[in-house]
A = this chain, B = another copy of it.
């Protein structure tokens, strides 16, 4: 059986322990399952803040996907208790939705500003942050935040 111990310890053990390895992949898969929800509620919140309302059409235009794709996702968000839908009047966030949106937007902001602060261009920071944000854990986020506060941040606030 030999439960513990490496199989073939060669030159440099470039590979970490299997149980440790699997932990990273599991966490990444978990993050992937919540990415879209985070982007939606954050976008809805932004649209409301920016223009007073969030319409399905606006979401469609900003995400760059087809309208039924958004419609289906919104149904899921209603089911999960993040939004309320009033036909032809817009999308509204529930308390849970507002909380998730606030958390997501804050994390997004920090990640993007961190990228700017470390020297990434505005465009690349904007694009990369949209994907990176969902995989930044609490500890990393606080490190990023401290870095941004310590060094100058890219542009605003």
Contact = CB atoms under 8 A, between A and B. Distances in A.
B147 A118 contact: yes
Interface residues of A, number: 55
Nearest to A131: B135
B131 A47 contact: no
A104 B62 CA distance: 30
A88 interface: no
Interface string A22-37: 1111111001100100
Secondary structure call for the A interface: helix
Contacts of A124: 137, 139-140
A62 B25 contact: yes
Interface string A44-76: 001101111000000001111000000000000
Interface string A78-105: 0000000000000000000000000000
16 contacts: A7-B51, A10-B49, A14-B50, A15-B47, A15-B49, A22-B61, A22-B64, A25-B39, A25-B63, A25-B64, A28-B131, A32-B131, A115-B140, A118-B118, A120-B143, A132-B136
